[in-house]
Amino acid sequence: MSYARNLRCRECGRSYPLEPAHVCEFCFGPLEVFYDYQAMRREVSRQSLAAGPPSIWRYAPLLPADPASAVDIGTGFTPLLRAPNLGRLLGLNRLYVKNDCVNPTWSFKDRVVSVAAAKAREFEFDTLACASTGNLANSVAAHAAKGGLKAFVFIPADLEQGKVIGSAVYGPTLVAVDGSYDEVNRLCSELSDKYPWAFVNITVRPYYAEGSKTLAYEVCEQLGWRAPDHCIVPMASGSLFTKIYKGIKELAWLGVIDWRETRMTGVQALGCSPIVEAWERQSFSIRPQKPNTIAKSLAIGNPADGYYALKTLAQSGGNGLAVTDDEVVEGIRLLAETEGIFAETAGGVVVAGLKRLAEGGRLDPDELIVAFITGAGLKTQEAVQERLAPPLVAKASIASFEEALSQRQGALPAARK
Amino acid sequence: MAKQRVKFTFPTGLIKEPVIWKLGKDFDVVTNIRRADVTEDRGWVILELEGEAEEIERGVRWVEELGVRVDPVPGDIVEG
């Protein structure tokens, strides 16, 4: 059962029933799900959680949706891997990678959309909707297909064909909107007022956002019920960043783990870094930016949870930093070449941030660090294709192969004796 | 009549200008401020606009042309 009791305004504290609502009617502040933690504490234990299915739904008591309504495409319980090669390179002895590339639509968005789709069914919506340039669109289309829901997916008209296929294959109504980024934003806000659809990050946003907490729950469980000392997380709207911290705090409140004062470090791409810009100004006031970066999955110029992400940075004693597009590409390659994980640009942002902190001596070599890799690299191949060595070209003969190899390497490997 | 919830973000040069008063005076739009944070060099205001849809659109376009950024209240909706 869910222990969600009401929605509360994060600004003025007013309460609302658990309905499809996202802003406070009085101050227009964002709403957040509030739980009965006393009752939850009596029921939830390491054993009860570990007895659940190997998906995000093992944490159903800590989520605002009834698992009976779940649209389960197998999201979650993704691998937490030791990263000894990357760690050695960076001088970090206890580095882990949470590999969320392996979710059903290859990004962490399956976590949030799974919860949003479950709530949409509970609220008897028959349509899921979103506006997205990639990961969110893929996930909404897939969940709608599995859940027997209609789907409207709004995409910018100039989106590359390869990114359209990852949504179109699931059969949603795809709408290519001819307009600027700001115009698409405004259109979708107006559509969410006009049509009775579950726009996942508007109509049911308080529930949707809670899905990100499962990343924290899984990491703590996979570490043997222990919180990391330091989390390195990509920031776009700031929601994922704040919810990972909330997830860790909840497990500590419930007595499932010990509180370790986990530090939260958030990384953005320099070409769209409104949260880090405010952090460096030592301000809690976000100045919206026009995105200009290859890390398109993080390109949110006016982040809904930017203020709360800044509070999390400050409360946890973490760092906020922005990395260049060149560092992002280098980060993607570094993770692939050391740990065998091909991440999308958001993963490159995280690894680049990790590298910058390590090289600057800002990480303790023995602290337990988890880098959150949130999406798979096949979605953003264009980011690295110009930077990779072209294949050797050889005719179908050993002599031709050896000639090509010697031109590249200068020396041939030892042959079998 | 239509209602629209918006966030105005003001550049430094417009902080002292009575933009919202002019919006209500020059356009047939009711402005209802709900939350704001304004200092001497920056500021944002979250407000509701009420009026005919075309009139709200005209008013918002005028505000944008002044150099004020206008966003939906939930922040950016288009996600990666």
B42 pLDDT band, cuts 50/70/90, is confident
Measured in whole angstroms, the distance separating CA A94 from the mean position of its chain's CA atoms is 22
d(C-alpha A299, C-alpha A347), whole Å: 14
Task: State which amino acid sits at residue A390.
Answer: P
Please give the pLDDT value at position A1.
Answer: 78
Residue A384 has phi, psi (to 5 degrees) of -115, -10
Which residues of A242-294 form beta strands (DSSP E)?
Answer: 263-269
Amino acid at A30: P
Distances (CA, A) of A276 to A317, A332, B19, B72, B74: 14, 21, 29, 22, 20
- Measured CA to CA, the distance from residue A412 to residue A406 in angstroms comes to 6
Q: To 10 degrees, the CA torsion angle through A252, A253, A256, A258?
A: 30
CB atoms within 10 A of CB A288: 19
Give the closest-approach CA distance of B5 to chain A in angstroms: 8
Residues of A in contact with B37 (CB under 8 A): 285
Domains of chain A, by residue range, sit at: 4-11+13-66, 80-106+210-386, 124-203
User: Does the distance separating the beta carbons of B5 and A27 come in below 8 Å?
Assistant: no
> With contacts defined as CB-CB under 8 Å, which chain B residues touch A296?
80
Average pLDDT (B56-78) is: 93
Interface-testing mutation among A154, A189, A208, with chain B (most B C-beta atoms within 10 A): A189
Contact B78 A11 (CB under 8 A): no
Q: Answer whether B73's CB lies under 8 Å from A28's CB.
A: yes
Minimal Cα distance from A184: which residue of B?
Answer: B78
The set of residues, in sequence order, having a beta carbon less than 8 Å from that of B34 and lying 6+ positions away, is A26, A27, A28, B46, B47, B48
Write out the DSSP string of A185-237.
HHHHHHHHHHS--EETTTTTHHHHHHTTHHHHHHHHHHTTS---SEEEEE-SS
pLDDT tens-place string over residues A385-414: 988 888 999 999 999 999 999 988 877 788
Assign a CATH topology to domain A124-203: Rossmann fold (3.40.50)
| Confidence at residue A359, expressed as pLDDT on a 0 to 100 scale | 97
Does B78 sit within 8 Å of A156, measured CB to CB? yes
User: Please, are residues A165 and A188 in contact by the beta-carbon 8 Å criterion?
Assistant: no
Tell me what pLDDT residue A163 has: 80
Comparing CA positions, the residue from A166, A131, A172 lying closest to residue A150 is: A172
The residue among A309, A354, A366 whose CA lies nearest residue A330 is A354
Instruction: Give the span between the Cα atoms of B12 and A35, in whole angstroms.
Output: 41
Q: Judge: B34–A201 Cβ closer than 8 Å, yes or no.
A: no
Crossing angle of helices A306-316 and A239-253, rounded to 10°: 50
Question: Is 0.90 surpassed by the pTM of this model?
Answer: yes
Whether A22 sits inside 8 A of B44 (CB atoms) is no
Chain B residues with CB within 8 Å of chain A CB: 4-5, 7, 9, 34-35, 37, 42, 44, 46, 48, 69, 71-80
Average pLDDT (B5-30) is: 94
Closest CA–CA distance from residue B24 to any residue of chain A (Å): 20
CB-nearest partner of B74 from A154, A202, A297: A202
> Min CA distance, A137 vs chain B (Å)?
8
- Residue found under tokens 């950016």: B76
Domains assigned to chain B: 2-72 (3.30.70.260)
Q: How far is A136 from chain B (nearest CA, A)?
A: 6
Contacts of A237 in chain B (CB under 8 A): 75-76, 79
Architecture of domain A80-106+210-386: 3-Layer(aba) Sandwich (3.40)
Q: Tell me which residues of chain A have a pLDDT lower than 50.
A: none
Contacts of B25 (CB under 8 A, 6+ apart): none
Per CB-CB distance under 8 Å, the chain B contacts of A305 are 75
Option in A156, A184, A285 nearest B42 (CB): A285
Cα–Cα distance for residue pair A48/A36, rounded to 1 Å: 18
Q: What is the pLDDT of residue B40?
A: 80
